[in-house]
Chain A
Amino acid sequence: MVFNTGAALLDAIVLAVVSREPQGTYGYKITQEVRTAIELSESTLYPVLRRLQKDECLDVYDMEFAGRNRRYYQVTEKGRRQLNLYEGEWRNYSAKITNIFEGGKME
């Protein structure tokens, strides 16, 4: 990938992915879904999830699955607000960039 994904954008992508599952989702699935959008090493997401959890943007709970405990992540109210903020910023930012790209073509 040509463009670097900054920490804020990665946070936003993770929050968006987790928020799509109201019942919560787990690390492996989050990683695979984030990887559909950006190239990302398999071990990159743990610190991000852990930090978002500490920032109270994500909630965790353990539920039994196939005879073992699986940790599920859910977006908190704070996380949802944070995600809204990111989404607004992203729309603004990407619209400006697109405008420059396409405006440049017209002239």
Chain B
Amino acid sequence: MKTMSRWEFMRRLEELLADLSPSEREEALMYYDSYISDSGKENEAAVLEALGTPEKVAATIKEGLDGGGGEFTEAGFRSNAESGGGNQVMSYHSAAGSGQGTEQTAQNNPNPGKRQRSSGEIAIIIILVILASPLLIGLGGGLLGVLLGIAGAIFGVAVAFVAVFLALLLGGFSLVIAGFIALFGSPLVGLSLLSAGLLTTGFGAIFLAIIVLVCGKLIPFLWNGICDLFRKITSRKKGAKND
């Protein structure tokens, strides 16, 4: 930023001090006018730069006026007013955080750096969430796909089991029927066909038991697990967006 002329500086300072009592304003203006004069003509530009912006000077003056109570405390009003620039010492620790932006607004708000930073942080969080949302959706979608795949596989296995059961049952029954019919012609063949049919039907019954077990216990268990997982994912995503 280019330094303003002495005249501009004083005029701006006068504007900024308009809400002070006339005597206070005169006092301050006279002090700074003398200050610049006493620095010498050749140092004028340097001293104007060293003083900082009129906004900062005005803020310092005002903080001094209403900072009454704590005159002899360690953390005086000065450290609040001076937190904008680089060459002050009173605010050695607090100057690091709040950068140049403080100077322009310091006059109205004694501690604007904090507010700006927190709203900035909020904006960053929102941006991060927006930027991350494809990733979140992608991750969620991927997980959903995997779960659907697992469910499909289970369904396929279940269908296969049912088919095997039906085949065994039908095969067993037809063998038993064939055995009965053959019993009249050749008892040996009929008996062996009958026993094979009963054996097959028995295997079918075992498969039925397995199917019932899978359907009754394993599938509900898996289904609940999937539902829980899905609920967790969606609720976490919502939480992240609300933050």
Contacts and interface: CB of A to CB of B under 8 A. Distances in A.
A20 B76 CA distance: 25
B82 A44 contact: yes
Contacts of A55: 71
Interface of B: 27-28, 30-32, 34-35, 37-39, 47, 50-52, 56-57, 60-61, 63-65, 67, 70-79, 81-82, 85, 87-90, 92-93
| Chain B interface mostly | helix
Contacts, number: 112
A43 B92 contact: no
A53 to B, nearest CB: 9
A42 B87 CA distance: 9
Contact of B27 (A8, A50, A51): A50
B31 A47 contact: no
B13 to A, nearest CB: 10
Contacts of B51: 42-43
Given A27-B34, A41-B88, A46-B31, A7 B76 contact: yes
Contacts of A39: 87-89
A11 B72 contact: yes
